């Protein structure tokens, strides 16, 4: 068994001054490790969406009636608070797991050789989104589940998913300048698709904010919109996204696009169809909690695949750096 390396006082000071640089000097992760770290952050972001939905659907939004403590006198949920307190506090604890996953992604990206500044920045962007969204989540509780703050909380999580998806993609490609795989017309169609998906998500938060699942059994303020009208608008936007996706797949086939954009577009189309079936079934069955939760999961997966379609339209090979060989280096030293 290898012995524990000696850590000098200088090492300890260096670790305190810049722990990430200290780790990077002593550890080089495999590319697969960095990819898995980025993927773990993305998976945890999706899990937070699902568990946050469970909090709302079980009426546990005010299970912990204050923040950052669970009650004025207790940091954690107590037995007297029942299942609602346990569910809400459990969701808060999962936020720490999310922080750990994002931290692991940052450490792995920082320690990778060669150092990739852009990749590390994507990790830090996730960290700051998580921190700000945690504060926003506390505000949601303090204002009694105001639907506009709940919607903002979900939108911020969608932004986290977007950054995590980009980071995961960047771990599997190089740092050279991106090269488009399709023409400008196809790129514009994809951006229309992405914009429609963003609008679909935003209107979905309005459906939630005006719908029957308020997040708590007590009287909770709702958005002043007719729920059925907003739901129908949401359905129309969903069909627009489906139509744009099918049109994109048809255009990609027609222009002989590479397999990756075709595969991602086909996968997105299937995800949208499944999401549509869940949406219609939940609408006509009076919104059973399980189906609403599946629909929220589908929303996160749909958003990831929209971004994967966007990112599949270009490739980024490894950057080529002209490093001097041993002979050239020796000649340079001789001239000096």
Cβ atoms within 10 Å, residue 2 = 4
Instruction: Give CA–CA dist 129/41, Å, rounded.
Output: 12
Higher-confidence residue of 271 and 79: namely 271
| Residue 189 burial class via C-beta count within 10 angstroms: exposed 0-12, middle 13-18, buried 19 and up | middle
Q: Which two tokens stand for residue 82?
A: 């029942």
117-155 CB burial, b ≥16 within 10 A, e <16:
eebbebbebbbebbeebbebbeebbeebbbbebbbbbbb
Q: Which two tokens stand for residue 80?
A: 């007297």
Among 1-10, 34-43, 105-114, 267-276, the range scoring the smallest mean pLDDT is: 1-10
- 186-189-191 Cα angle (round to 5): 115
pLDDT in tens, 243-285: 999 999 999 999 999 999 999 999 999 999 999 999 999 989 9
Q: How far apart are the first and last CA of the chain?
A: 47
The distance of Cα 164 from the centroid of its chain, to the nearest Å, equals: 5
pLDDT in tens, 80-116: 888 988 999 999 999 999 999 999 999 999 999 999 9
Report domain extents, the chain.
23-175, 179-315
Fold of 179-315: 1.20.120
pLDDT in tens, 154-210: 999 999 999 999 999 999 998 888 999 999 999 999 999 999 999 999 999 999 888
- Cα separations (Å) of 321 from 176, 187, 292? 10, 29, 51
Higher-confidence residue of 16 and 129: namely 129
């Amino acid at each position: 068994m290898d012995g524990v390396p000696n850590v000098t006082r200088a090492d300890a000071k260096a670790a305190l001054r810049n722990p990430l640089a200290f780790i990077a000097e002593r550890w080089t992760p495999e590319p697969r490790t960095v990819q898995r770290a980025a993927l773990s952050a993305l998976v945890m972001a999706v899990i937070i969406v699902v568990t946050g939905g469970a909090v709302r659907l079980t009426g546990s939004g005010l299970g912990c009636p204050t923040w950052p403590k669970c009650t004025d006198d207790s940091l954690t949920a107590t037995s007297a608070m029942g299942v609602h307190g346990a569910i809400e506090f459990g969701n808060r604890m999962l936020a720490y797991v999310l922080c750990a996953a994002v931290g692991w992604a940052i450490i792995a990206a920082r320690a990778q050789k060669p150092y990739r500044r852009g990749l590390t920045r994507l990790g830090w962007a996730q960290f700051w989104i998580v921190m700000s969204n945690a504060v926003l989540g506390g505000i949601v509780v303090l204002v009694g589940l105001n639907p506009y703050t709940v919607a903002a909380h979900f939108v911020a999580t969608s932004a986290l998913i977007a950054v995590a998806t980009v980071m995961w993609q960047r771990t599997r490609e190089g740092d050279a300048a991106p090269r488009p795989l399709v023409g400008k017309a196809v790129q514009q169609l994809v951006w229309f698709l992405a914009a429609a998906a963003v609008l679909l998500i935003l209107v979905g938060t309005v459906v939630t904010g005006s719908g029957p699942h308020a997040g708590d059994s007590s009287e909770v303020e709702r958005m002043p919109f007719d729920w059925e009208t907003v739901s129908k608008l949401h359905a129309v936007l969903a069909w627009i996204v489906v139509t744009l996706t099918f049109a994109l797949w048809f255009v990609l086939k027609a222009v002989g696009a590479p397999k990756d954009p075709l595969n991602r577009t086909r996968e997105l189309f299937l995800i949208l169809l499944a999401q549509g079936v869940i949406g219609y079934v939940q609408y006509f069955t009076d919104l059973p909690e399980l189906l609403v939760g599946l629909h929220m999961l589908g929303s996160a997966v749909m958003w990831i695949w929209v971004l994967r379609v966007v990112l599949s339209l270009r490739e980024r090979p490894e950057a080529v750096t002209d490093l001097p060989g041993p002979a050239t280096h020796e000649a340079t030293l001789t001239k000096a």
